[in-house]
Structure 1
Amino acid sequence: MNYHYKFEKILDVKEKEKDEALSAYKNAVQAFENVARELYALLKKKEDLEAHQAEKMKAGLSVQEIRHYRRFIDDIEKSIHYYQSLVMNARNRMNWHQQKLQEKNIEVKKYEKLKDKDYGRFLMKLKIQEEKQADEISTQTFYH
């Protein structure tokens, strides 16, 4: 007697959905890391530029150079604000995909637990059937 789980196809579908959710989550994490890396690079660039400007201020700067540095820092700050919003969006997307992945994991575990219980019942029925056959054989040998 072979074991066949009645929800095997559903379990396969749920596992496939879980794998897709895992892939989407990994992509979201990668996108978040890329955007965060860009933001970090801009923040570092701004910090370096401000340190360089402070160094030059000690030696003396013309008004034109001060304006040039200020314009450049303002442009970097605009980029920083833009990338901060991108990082927030990427983090939210990553958290959403993580939540979906957790939900899919729970669904798969439910079906796996059902399968384990069903297999346990199958083994119990098989054992009872074997015991009945052994009883019949012993009864028949006793009568003969």
Structure 2
Amino acid sequence: MIYQYKFEKILSIKEREKTDALAKYNAALKKFEEVAEKLYKLLKKKEELLEFQQEKLRNGLSVQDIRHHQLFMDNLEKLLSLCQQEVIEARYKMNTQRDILMERNIEVKKYEIMKENDFLEFLDVMKEAENKEMDEISIQQYLSKGVR
């Protein structure tokens, strides 16, 4: 007798859902890392620009250059604000995908545990059937020897 798990199709569907969820989570994680890296570079650029501006102010700077730097800083601040919003959204999507992945993992684990328990039950039934068969063989042998 061959073992056949009654929920095999459901288990394979759940495993496929888990694989899909993992792929979506990895994509969300990659997107978050890219956006976070972009934010880091912008912050580093702002820091370097501030240091450069402070150095220029110590050495003397024309009003036109100060305005130019201030306008550039304002634009950089807007860019930073947008990038921070992107990071927040990417983090939210990544966390959502992680939660979905964890949920799918739990579902697959439940079906795997059910399969394992079902298989152990199948083995018990097979062992019981084998024992009955052995008992029957023993009885037949006893009867055949007793008849002689």
Under a length normalisation based on structure 1, what TM-score does the superposition of the two structures give? Answer: 0.99
Q: Which residue of 1 aligns with 2:115?
A: 115
* Shift, 1:137, TM fit: 0.2
Q: Which residue of 2 aligns with 1:71?
A: 71
Q: How many residues align?
A: 144
* Shift, 1:6, TM fit: 0.4
Structure whose alpha-carbon radius of gyration is higher: 2
Q: Where in structure 2 are the equivalents of 1:11-26 lying within 5 Å? A: 11-26=11-26
* Shift, 1:55, TM fit: 0.5
Q: Which residue of 2 aligns with 1:83?
A: 83
Q: Which residue of 2 aligns with 1:28?
A: 28
Letter in 1 for 2:45: K
Q: Which residue of 2 aligns with 1:103?
A: 103
How many angstroms apart in 2 are the aligned matches of 1:7 and 1:105?
17
* Shift, 1:40, TM fit: 0.6
How many angstroms apart in 1 are the aligned matches of 2:95 and 2:142?
70
Q: Which residue of 2 aligns with 1:135?
A: 135
Moved over 3 A (4+): none
| Cα RMSD, aligned residues only | 0.3
How many angstroms apart in 1 are the aligned matches of 2:43 and 2:10?
49
Structure 2 unmatched ranges of 5 or more: none
Once the two structures are superposed, residues 91-124 of structure 1 have per-residue CA deviations (whole angstroms, 9 ceiling, x without a partner) of 0000000000000000000000000000000000
* Shift, 1:49, TM fit: 0.4
How many angstroms apart in 2 are the aligned matches of 1:125 and 1:49?
76
* Shift, 1:34, TM fit: 0.4
Structure 1 unmatched ranges of 5 or more: none
How many angstroms apart in 1 are the aligned matches of 2:37 and 2:75?
18
Q: Which residue of 1 aligns with 2:4?
A: 4
How many angstroms apart in 2 are the aligned matches of 1:90 and 1:121?
46
How many angstroms apart in 1 are the aligned matches of 2:43 and 2:110?
46
